[in-house]
């Protein structure tokens, strides 16, 4: 259903407000460069700093601008199940192809709570769901056995796996079946993830170098592992540099270097990356041959 290089889109802010004009151009550029789907209002999009109305507006703009050329997987997660459902219904009404739903953060539900959360969402909205597992942010981890139970629900179609445990791909194949859509949530681990049965990556790096990330994904999908390794070596310093300070600070800095007129704004509590982080990004861009 979903595969390839899928950027977790940054949200440009100018003067504190969503820069819709620039974002629309950014969506067009991503598609032209080969991105196979788009994720607005994920973590990289600073969704946690948006009002519900603003969040839903950004999703609508992304869908409008994509014009059906690629699927749009709308960020819809919340630690409040009812709010997550509101986001899903708004995304579905706007024409989204799926919802990316992060595990409830802060509340720290147990495995039964995770089952209940996702079952409630699936029972009350037919929009396909991609579960987003990122324990470093949520302090909650969905186990393969729990995911296997959710995979039996027709509208729960995949996972964005940022657990940092590459072996989960095989464990999840055992529990969910080979057709369950497994997308990497860690750019630096995606080569191994793909070799073990993954089908793509919801990527931070693809914001900055979408063409190279799309080439990497095509090489993996076609089994051209030597080509994929060459691209991994080219991209790896940037994968690391984009997390050398709190994300999405480094990726927004990188875009000020590589994308015309990209604004240098983050929303509190996020702040501009350190000088050391910016230097790491500069070096990584030079290594990739783009700056």
By three-state DSSP, how is residue 89 classified? helix
Strands 181-184 and 200-203 come out as: parallel
Q: How long, in residues, is the chain?
A: 291
Average pLDDT over the chain, rounded to whole? 97
Residue 291 clears pLDDT 80, i.e. is over it = no
Q: Is the pTM for the entire model greater than 0.75?
A: yes
Confidence class for position 137, pLDDT limits 50, 70, 90: very high
- 231 touches 223 (CB < 8 A): no
Q: What percent of the chain has pLDDT over 90?
A: 99
Q: How far apart are the two ends of the chain, measured CA to CA in Å?
A: 35
Whole-number pLDDT of residue 280: 98
Residue 62 pLDDT class (50, 70, 90 cuts)? very high
Task: Provide the pLDDT for residue 253.
Answer: 98
**What average pLDDT score do residues 226-237 get?**
98
For residue range 92-131, list pLDDT tens digits in order.
999 999 999 999 999 999 999 999 999 999 999 999 999 9
The answer to whether the CB of 95 falls within 8 A of the CB of 74 is no
What structural domains does the chain harbor? 4-221 (3.20.20.70)
Q: Is the pLDDT of residue 146 over 80?
A: yes
Instruction: Name the residues annotated as catalytic.
Output: 132, 160
> Quick one: pLDDT at residue 138?
96
Give me the pLDDT at residue 1, please: 80
Residue 75: pLDDT band (50, 70, 90) is very high
């Amino acid at each position: 259903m979903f595969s390839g290089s899928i950027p977790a889109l940054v949200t440009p802010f100018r003067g504190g407000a969503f820069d819709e004009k620039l974002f629309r151009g950014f969506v067009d550029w991503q598609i032209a460069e080969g991105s196979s789907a788009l994720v607005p209002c994920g973590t990289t999009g600073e969704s946690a700093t948006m009002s519900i109305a603003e969040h839903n507006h950004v999703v609508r703009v992304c869908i409008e601008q994509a014009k059906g050329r690629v699927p749009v997987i709308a960020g819809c997660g919340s630690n409040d199940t009812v709010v997550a459902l509101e986001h899903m219904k708004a995304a579905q009404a706007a024409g989204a192809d799926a919802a990316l739903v992060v595990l409830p953060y802060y509340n720290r539900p147990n495995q039964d709570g995770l089952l209940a959360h996702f079952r409630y969402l699936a029972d009350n909205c037919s929009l396909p769901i991609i579960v987003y597992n990122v324990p470093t942010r949520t302090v909650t981890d969905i186990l393969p056995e729990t995911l296997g139970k959710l995979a039996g629900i027709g509208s729960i179609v995949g996972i964005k796996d940022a657990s940092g445990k590459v072996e989960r791909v095989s464990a999840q194949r055992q529990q969910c079946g080979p057709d369950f859509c497994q997308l990497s949530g860690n750019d630096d681990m995606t080569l191994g993830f793909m070799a073990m049965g993954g089908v793509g990556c919801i990527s931070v790096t693809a914001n900055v170098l979408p063409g190279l990330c799309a080439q990497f994904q095509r090489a993996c999908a076609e089994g051209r592992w030597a080509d994929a390794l060459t691209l991994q070596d080219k991209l790896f310093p940037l994968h690391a540099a984009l997390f050398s300070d709190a994300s999405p600070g480094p990726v927004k800095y990188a875009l000020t270097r590589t994308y015309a007129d990209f604004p240098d704004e983050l929303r509190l509590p996020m702040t501009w990356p350190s000088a050391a982080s910016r230097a790491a990004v500069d070096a990584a861009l030079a290594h990739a041959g783009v700056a």
